[in-house]
Amino acid sequence: MKLFPLAWGYLRTRALLLLSAVAIALGVAVLFTVLAVMNGFLQELEQSVRTESGDAIIEPLPPRYGGGHSLEDYKIALADVPGLQSLEPRLNYYGLVGRRGARALSDPRSTDLSGLLLQGKENCPPWDSPNTSLPPLWIGKQAAERLGLLQGDSLEVLSFQQQGGKVATLRATFQIAGTLQSGRFDHDLDRALVRRADLADILHHDPGFSEISVRGTADVDPLLFTEKLERALQTAGISTASFPLAVSWRRQAGSLLRAVEDQRELLGVMFFFIVLVAAYQLVATLTLLVTEKRRDIGILRALGATPANILIFYVALGGFLALAGSVLGLCLGLWASNHLETIEKWLGGGDSLFRAEIYHFDHIPVAVEWVSAGWLVGLTLCAAVLFSLWPAWNAARLQVLDILKKR
C-alpha cells in the first residue's frame, strides 16, 4: 500500500510538521557554522605555527650543558634522515621598544616600554637598500601600527647583555624595511625580523644560533619526522634521551593548540544537544498527529494496512522531516560560514564583535569539513528515527474496533 500521497497531504496541511523541520534546520545550521569556524581556527593556527617554525625545531643546549655543536655538526648528523629538505639557523634575542620612540628608552623602568622579539635569519625578504648605514628590520604589522612606524622610519631597540659579571646595555637603531603579517595577532604584535649577521654585530660577537628550523618534504609526516630527527641526533651523540632537542610543531603551538582542539570538541557536543532537542520535538509533533489522525489510521487498517505499514509510515515521516531539516540546515550553515563578517556586523550594529587581540587572528577563519557534516546529518537522522519510534509504535498498536468505538 502506497502511503506517499497521505504523507504529502499531511505536509501541506500541517504547518507544525514543517516547523519541526525548520527547528532541526536551525540546530544543524548553528552546529555546522560553529564547527566550520573552530576548524578554521585550528587550521589557521596549525598553518601559522608550521610556517613560522617548520615541521620541527631543534633547540640546542648551551655549551655549559654539553651543547655548543656547530651547524655543520647538525647537518652531518641529520644528513641521512629521509624527507629532510632544509635546515635554517635562527638567532633570537629580546629587546625593548617604546611607544613614544627613542625617548622612552632613556628609562628602562618606564611602563611605556614593551618587548620585541628580534629573530635573526639568513634568508630575509628583499630590501631596496637606501642611502643609510642602518641595518634593516621587518616588523609585525600590529607592532608597526601600535608604534606608529612606517617604512623608512628608524626604530631604536634597547637590550641587555651580561659582560664580565656585569650587565651591559645594548642600544641599536634599525630602519623599518617593511612589515610582516603572519595572520596571528599575538605574533604580529611583538615580533620583528632582522638579518642574523646584523644581530650578531649588535651583540659584538656571534653566538651562533638559538634554534634550527627543520623542514621536510611535502609528503612528510611531521610527528614521525620529528622522531626520526631525534633518533639521528641521539645516534650522533648530540642529543640524549633525557634531554631531547627536536621539538614538533605541535609542541611549538603549546597550550593554545590544545585549547582550540578541546574547545572544538566541547562546543560540538554542546551544540549537538540543540539538534537533539529539535529532533526530540518530533515525539510531540508525531504524537499529536497520531491523535488527530486516528480516523485516518482506522481507515488505512480497514483497507488492509498492516501494523508494520503504519509503523514504517510514521517513522519514515519523521526521518523525512529530519532529512529535509538537515539539508536545509547545511545550506543555511554554508551560507552563514561564507558571510560571517556580514552577520557579525548585523549582530554588532555595524561594529565588529570579533576581537583580533583575543582570538589571535585578524579575520574569522572558516574551514568546512564535509566528513564532519556527513556525520552530523547521519546522527541527526538516527536521532530523528529513534524519537519517531514511540509515536509510530502507538499508531501501529491502534485497532480498528477501538478507533470506531471512540468515534
- pLDDT tens for each residue of 276-327: 888 888 788 888 777 776 777 677 776 777 778 778 878 888 888 888 888 9
Q: Is 1 exposed, middle or buried (0-12, 13-18, 19+ CB in 10 A)?
A: exposed
What pLDDT is stored for residue 362 in this prediction? 61
Neighbours of 165 (CB within 10 A): 5
With contact defined as beta carbons under 8 Å apart, do 376 and 276 qualify?
no
pTM exceeds 0.75: no
- pLDDT tens readout for residues 237-253: 888 877 888 888 777 66
Where do the DSSP E strands lie in 82-163?
84-98, 113-121, 136-140, 154-163
The rounded percent of the chain whose pLDDT value lies above 90 is: 1
Map out the domains of the chain as residue ranges.
4-46+256-406, 56-253
Q: For residue 391, give Cα distances in angstroms to 2, 20, 187, 249, 321.
A: 20, 15, 57, 53, 15
- pLDDT tens readout for residues 140-153: 888 888 888 888 88
pLDDT band with cut points at 50, 70 and 90 for residue 1: very low
